[in-house]
């Protein structure tokens, strides 16, 4: 029997490992289970048993996310100790670690990192997010084609990522401390889920979905960024929503944003969303978004913005229904001051002109190199004339000297 066959035969059925590790997690051995998930799944991948590796990683990711435990050894100590003896316990842990390790400096850094994880930030989804990313890595290594079954499994993992609203009332120092910890927890959740979904989008684009990746994955990422971001970036949210397939959900997100943003931000968010759709040539969803926004603001008792920027967007949507490049250019000129409120709008409009009217955008690099070439030519011509002039001057002097000598 070949070495490859022996290696495959040495691995037990995956369900045995799933049951064993699920038991370890239920008993509270989160750190040990995490290491086993990673090492055993790597063995299945090495043996090219990708389906079993995926089953193991999916199970582990969902369990760890549900339990929301940290991978830190210190976190186990902290959970077992009262507030009074917590510091004594971590001090004992430090002494034992230093005694066992020759590299005391690395141990000290590790210890400090663990303390920060437990007391300063909430790493409740670190383990699950790590296994979720390994799930997608296995899809890539196994060259698993994109299909609805795999998409459902990705969605299943996504749905167990926690969504926790930030506390709003802060009346004392204790509330401020809890709010600070909640910010750290939200950042951890967002980083973990974003890494997982970005990897899944990249896999779907490479193995069978559309060029931009699966639209449903983009919609998931947009929703999670909006719900969990501590510093909301609507440009990033819009980027993924316009690559998704749910303009109605995008509209409801924008309406929610309008209810709590500053007065001069609502029309910019609407314009950005519409222009992003149009820059991709998607006039249908751009119109759908505007119609949904107008419909959804009424029950929320919100006023739909009527700024010059929104007027421009309304006229633009009508203009793009027909072959009217001169009117398109006239709109850009007349509403230039409104367009210039957001630096990215002019670039988006250049892309729209290219998509709808075939206007070729000037490549900035080409312009830069063209200007550089012109400068080089000017310098070359100047030097050439200088050489000719100096040469003529020298010949004139020699000629005059020769005539004087002859006399």
Residue 110's contacts (CB-CB under 8 Å, 6 or more residues apart) are 97
Residue 270 lies in a domain: yes
Whether residue 186 is predicted with pLDDT greater than 50 in this model: the reply is: yes
Judgement on whether residues 334 and 397 belong to the same structural domain of the protein? no
Q: Is the dihedral of CA 109, 111, 112, 118 positive or negative?
A: positive
Choice among 161-170, 289-298, 365-374 with the minimum mean pLDDT: 365-374
Residue 113 lies in a domain: no
Residue 398 lies in a domain: yes
> What is the average per-residue pLDDT within 80-94?
45
Q: Give the model's confidence band at 394: pLDDT under 50 very low, under 70 low, under 90 confident, else very high.
A: low
> What is the average per-residue pLDDT within 279-292?
96
Judgement on whether residues 176 and 224 belong to the same structural domain of the protein? yes
Judgement on whether residues 356 and 379 belong to the same structural domain of the protein? no
229 near 190, Cβ under 8 Å?
A: yes
Judgement on whether residues 206 and 261 belong to the same structural domain of the protein? no
What's the full length of the chain, in residues?
A: 407
Judgement on whether residues 261 and 403 belong to the same structural domain of the protein? no
Residue-range definition of the domain harbouring residue 333: 236-361
Q: Give the model's confidence band at 183: pLDDT under 50 very low, under 70 low, under 90 confident, else very high.
A: confident
Residue finishing a domain among 231, 257, 286: 231
* pLDDT at 120 (0 to 100): 32
* pLDDT at 111 (0 to 100): 44
Residue 104 lies in a domain: no
Share of residues in the chain with pLDDT > 70 (%): 70
Residue 79 lies in a domain: no
Residue 279 lies in a domain: yes
> What is the average per-residue pLDDT within 93-101?
48
pLDDT in tens, 206-219: 998 889 999 999 99
Residue 397 lies in a domain: yes
Residue 80 lies in a domain: no
Q: Mean pLDDT over all residues of the chain?
A: 80
Judgement on whether residues 267 and 224 belong to the same structural domain of the protein? no
Q: How many other CB atoms are found less than 10 A from the CB of residue 69?
A: 25
Dist CA 99 CA 222 (whole Å)? 48
Residue found by looking up tokens 């190199």 in the block: 369
Tokens matching residue 132: 């979720």
* pLDDT at 385 (0 to 100): 58
Tokens matching residue 235: 């440009």
Judgement on whether residues 349 and 406 belong to the same structural domain of the protein? no
Whether residue 83 is predicted with pLDDT greater than 90 in this model: the reply is: no
Dist CA 92 CA 78 (whole Å)? 12
> What is the average per-residue pLDDT within 359-388?
63
Judgement on whether residues 51 and 181 belong to the same structural domain of the protein? yes
pTM (2 d.p.) = 0.75
Judgement on whether residues 139 and 55 belong to the same structural domain of the protein? yes
Per-residue b or e along 198-217, where b marks 16 or more CB atoms closer than 10 Å to that residue's CB = bbbbebbbebebeebbbbbb
Residue found by looking up tokens 């501590």 in the block: 230
Residue 113's contacts (CB-CB under 8 Å, 6 or more residues apart) are none
Q: CA-CA distances (angstroms) from residue 240 to 17, 231, 280?
A: 37, 17, 12
**Structural domain tally of the chain?**
3
Judgement on whether residues 275 and 315 belong to the same structural domain of the protein? yes
Judgement on whether residues 333 and 291 belong to the same structural domain of the protein? yes
Judgement on whether residues 222 and 306 belong to the same structural domain of the protein? no
Residue that wins the pLDDT comparison between 45 and 168: 45
């Amino acid at each position: 029997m070949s070495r490859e066959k022996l290696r495959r035969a040495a691995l037990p059925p995956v369900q045995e490992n799933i049951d064993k590790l699920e038991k370890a997690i239920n008993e509270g051995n989160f750190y040990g289970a995490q290491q086993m998930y990673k090492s055993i799944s790597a063995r299945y991948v090495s043996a090219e048993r990708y389906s079993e590796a995926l089953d193991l990683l999916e199970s582990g990711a969902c369990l760890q996310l549900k339990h929301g435990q940290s991978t830190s050894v210190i976190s186990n100590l902290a959970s077992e100790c009262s507030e009074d003896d917590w510091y004594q316990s971590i001090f004992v842990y430090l002494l034992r670690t230093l005694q066992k390790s020759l590299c005391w400096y690395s141990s000290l850094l590790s210890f400090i990192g663990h303390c920060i994880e437990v007391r300063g930030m909430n790493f409740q989804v670190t383990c699950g997010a790590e296994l979720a990313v390994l799930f997608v890595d296995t899809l890539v290594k196994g060259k698993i084609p994109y299909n609805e079954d795999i998409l459902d499994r990705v969605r299943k993992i996504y749905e167990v990522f926690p969504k926790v609203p930030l506390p709003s009332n802060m009346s004392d120092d204790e509330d401020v401390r809890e709010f600070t910890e909640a910010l750290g927890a939200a950042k951890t959740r967002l980083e973990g889920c974003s890494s997982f979904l970005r990897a899944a989008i990249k896999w779907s684009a490479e193995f069978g979905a559309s060029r931009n990746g699966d639209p449903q994955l983009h919609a998931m990422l947009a929703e999670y960024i909006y719900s969990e971001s501590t510093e909301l970036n609507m440009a990033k949210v819009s980027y993924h929503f316009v690559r998704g397939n749910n303009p109605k959900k995008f509209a409801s997100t924008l309406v929610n944003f309008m209810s709590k943003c500053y007065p001069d931000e609502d029309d910019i968010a609407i314009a950005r969303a519409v222009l992003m759709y149009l820059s991709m040539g998607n006039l249908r969803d751009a119109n759908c978004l505007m119609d949904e926004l107008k419909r959804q603001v009424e029950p929320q008792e919100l006023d739909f913005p009527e700024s010059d920027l929104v007027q421009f967007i309304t006229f633009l949507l009508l203009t793009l229904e027909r072959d009217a490049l001169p009117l398109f250019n006239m709109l850009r000129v007349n509403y230039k001051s409104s367009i210039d409120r957001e630096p990215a709008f002019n670039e988006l409009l250049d892309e729209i002109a290219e998509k709808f009217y075939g206007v070729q955008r000037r490549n900035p690099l080409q312009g830069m190199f063209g200007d550089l070439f012109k400068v080089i030519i000017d310098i070359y011509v100047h030097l050439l004339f200088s050489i000719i002039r100096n040469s003529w001057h020298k010949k004139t002097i020699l000629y005059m000297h020769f005539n004087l000598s002859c006399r």
